[in-house]
């Protein structure tokens, strides 16, 4: 597969991608494709290359919503093939990422990929996080951002965010539909408020997803 710079710029809402970012992005997607032959990171379908490209573009679509306001600590729960954290880390070397993955083979893939790409702002921990149980290696209330892409229901994502975010921190999630009334009530229940959202159909045709960012109240 070969990533198209214009598609990357459109998805990320940027005017230009530099050579280093493009090279790292290409190498990351190739690593996912190679590993996916042995580990089910994204899909077993025939159109795996398209799936990897789509997941990469979905990941970097969040870039426009992330402020540049000093050093940030980011926790990605259920990292799997590294989406969205590794694509975000390529474009935001100023953010420190912790990737949590419970499956040993996937965690090893992430560690090897991070080492190969030389991403000093990313580390991996193999651990199964429970939204009701204290983690061993992930400190509570220590992160500015938490991302949960596809491993939990809405309320569990909020519970994780409530546990690991500092006051004022943000939870980033992807959802196929708009927030419904019941889900809005969950925000108040878990001490969050809606900060921003983005429909992805304009940037990525057939991507019937929204990115939601909710903020933990002070």
**pLDDT at position 150:** 67
Which whole number is the average pLDDT over 26-42? 92
Domain carrying residue 163? 62-216
77-132 pLDDT tens trace: 999 999 999 999 999 999 999 999 999 999 999 999 999 999 999 999 999 887 66
The answer as to whether 128 is a domain residue is: yes
Task: Evaluate whether 76 touches 99 at the Cβ level (below 8 Å).
Answer: yes
The answer as to whether 46 is a domain residue is: no
Q: At residue 152, what are phi and psi to the nearest 5 degrees?
A: -150, 155
The answer as to whether 9 is a domain residue is: no
Q: Check whether 214 has a pLDDT greater than 90.
A: yes
Q: What is the CATH number of the domain that holds 147?
A: 3.40.50.150
DSSP state of 133: B
User: Per DSSP, what are the bridge partners of residue 122?
Assistant: 97
Phi-psi region of 26 (alpha: psi -120 to 50; beta: other; left: phi over 0): alpha
**Euclidean distance between CA atoms 7 and 137, whole angstroms:** 37
How confident is the prediction for the chain on average, in pLDDT?
90
Residues 6+ apart with CB under 8 A from 165: 141, 143, 144, 145, 146, 171, 216
Could you give the percent of the chain with pLDDT greater than 90?
Answer: 66
The answer as to whether 30 is a domain residue is: no
Q: Check whether 50 has a pLDDT greater than 60.
A: yes
Q: Check whether 27 has a pLDDT greater than 60.
A: yes
> Which is more confidently placed, 10 or 129?
10
Work out the pLDDT band at 204, boundaries 50, 70, 90: confident
Task: Evaluate whether 206 touches 217 at the Cβ level (below 8 Å).
Answer: no
**pLDDT at position 133:** 65
142-184 pLDDT tens trace: 999 999 986 668 888 999 999 999 999 999 998 877 667 777 8
Classify strands 72-77 and 143-148 as parallel, antiparallel or unpaired. Answer: parallel
The answer as to whether 49 is a domain residue is: no
The answer as to whether 52 is a domain residue is: no
**pLDDT at position 48:** 86
The answer as to whether 75 is a domain residue is: yes
**Euclidean distance between CA atoms 37 and 35, whole angstroms:** 5
Which whole number is the average pLDDT over 48-60? 92
- What is the count of structural domains for the chain? 1
The answer as to whether 3 is a domain residue is: no
Could you give the percent of the chain with pLDDT greater than 70?
Answer: 94
């Amino acid at each position: 597969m070969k990533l198209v710079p214009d598609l990357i710029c459109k998805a990320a809402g940027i005017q230009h991608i530099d050579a280093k970012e493009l090279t790292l992005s290409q190498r990351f997607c190739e690593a996912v494709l190679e590993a996916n032959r042995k580990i089910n990171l994204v899909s077993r379908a025939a159109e795996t290359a398209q799936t990897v490209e789509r997941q990469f573009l979905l990941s970097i679509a969040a870039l426009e919503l992330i402020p540049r306001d000093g050093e940030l600590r980011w926790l990605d729960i259920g990292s799997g093939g590294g989406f969205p954290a590794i694509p975000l880390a390529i474009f935001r070397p100023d953010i420190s990422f912790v990737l949590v993955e419970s499956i040993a083979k996937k965690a090893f893939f992430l560690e090897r990929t991070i080492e190969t790409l030389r991403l000093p702002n990313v580390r991996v921990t193999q651990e199964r996080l429970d939204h009701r149980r204290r983690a061993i290696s992930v400190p509570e209330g220590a992160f500015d951002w938490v991302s949960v892409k596809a491993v939990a229901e809405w309320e569990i994502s909020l519970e994780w965010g409530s546990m690991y975010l500092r006051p004022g921190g943000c939870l980033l999630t992807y959802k196929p539909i708009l927030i419904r009334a019941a889900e809005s009530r969950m925000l108040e229940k878990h001490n969050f408020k809606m900060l921003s959202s983005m429909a992805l159909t304009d940037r990525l045709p057939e991507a019937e997803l929204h990115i939601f960012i909710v903020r933990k109240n002070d």
